Amino acid sequence: MKDAKVRLYVEHPLGEGQTIPLERDQAHYLFGVMRLGVGDAVALFNGRDGEWRCGVVEAGKRKGVLVCEAQTKPLQMPPDLWLIFAPIKKARTDFIVEKAAEMGAARIMPVQTDFTNSERIRQDRLQAHAVEAAEQCGGTFVPEVADLQKLDRVLADWPEGRQLMFCDEAEVGSAARLGAASGDQWAILIGPEGGFSPDERARLKSLPFAHVVSLGPRILRADTAAVAAMTIWQQALGDWG
């Protein structure tokens, strides 16, 4: 069978011999844009069953059918890491979601802080960006993108046993303090462009599960800070080692 040159996320269960009916947009992409036809291979994943090589058995402009033939990758779960961030400008929020999905976040949580400029998000659009990132980077898991919540509510409902890496721009120039930390359940918190308010900073520093971390000698943009923070955490406690 031909090698799969296209990789696609589907909601349908995957398994040997499983028939996959395509939605209209998927059929248009595979057969209208990518010019695939009967007998060609497509790599499918659904975030649960790993990646499967599937053959095209029906190809039309508005519909199509694939059949699963062999699993090519098992499901690879990321570490139990949440990325919590304050939404910023549209394109840069998209960037944060895409990079979080690529770098191994298990859950992505936009939050509204005292200085957050954005009061609403398009959760469905951000979830689609997470799917696209997984399609492009070869991942088999797609993190959930939660709807926008207030930071104080997230902290009030904090689950027992989960540690928090609090990236505080006020700590610029000090050494990162994550080396002695441990645990399997974590979250990273990135603030808004205006930083955290004094009340938020005081509350975060008082939390027994919070670990204040500096991201180096320079103040970073929020999207850059998200990538830097995930890199620090993955190297210290994640699955990069």
> How many other CB atoms are there within 10 angstroms of residue 124's CB atom?
9
pTM of the model: 0.91
Give the model confidence (pLDDT) of 163-172 as tens digits.
999 988 776 6
Q: For residues 113 and 180, what is the distance between their CA atoms, to the nearest angstrom?
A: 28
Q: For residues 172 and 169, what is the distance between their CA atoms, to the nearest angstrom?
A: 5
Give the model confidence (pLDDT) of 47-92 as tens digits.
999 999 999 999 998 899 999 999 999 999 999 999 999 998 888 9
Q: For residues 206 and 210, what is the distance between their CA atoms, to the nearest angstrom?
A: 8
Give the model confidence (pLDDT) of 124-136 as tens digits.
999 999 999 999 9
Length of the chain: 241
Q: For residues 114 and 139, what is the distance between their CA atoms, to the nearest angstrom?
A: 35
pLDDT band per the 50, 70, 90 thresholds, residue 241? low
**Residue 218: predicted pLDDT:** 84
Residue 122, φ and ψ in degrees, nearest 5: -100, 95
